[in-house]
Amino acid sequence: MELKDFIVDFADQFDDTDISEIKSDTVFHDLDEWSSLTAMGVIAMVRTQYGRTISGKDIKECTTVEDLYNLISK
């Protein structure tokens, strides 16, 4: 898994946020469309696309998209 691929998969979880707004250093909690529902979508995406299990607590502890990528890449 590469960071650029993860960013695309992450961005797919948003309906109205343009992919150009999401970069490795994006503080995803600050995105207008970020919600608990989006977080659940990210959890499901990580499980199905990458075979990893993360929790809401894990997501809360991450700040940027790259932080989340690093958590999943461990």
pLDDT digits 0-9 by tens, 7-58 = 999 999 999 999 999 999 999 999 999 999 999 999 999 999 999 999 999 9
Residue 8, domain CATH: 1.10.1200.10
Instruction: Note the pLDDT of residue 74.
Output: 84
Instruction: Note the pLDDT of residue 41.
Output: 96
**Tokens at residue 55, please?**
């929790």
Q: For the chain, what is the largest distance between any 2 Cα atoms, rounded to a whole number of angstroms? A: 30
**Tokens at residue 37, please?**
């529902």
pLDDT average, residue stretch 67-71: 97
Instruction: Note the pLDDT of residue 1.
Output: 80
Domain membership of residue 43 as a residue range: 3-73
pTM, to two decimals: 0.91
Query: 65: exposed, middle or buried (C-beta count within 10 Å: 0-12, 13-18, 19+)?
Result: buried
Instruction: Note the pLDDT of residue 48.
Output: 96
Count of domains observed in the chain: 1
Instruction: Note the pLDDT of residue 54.
Output: 97
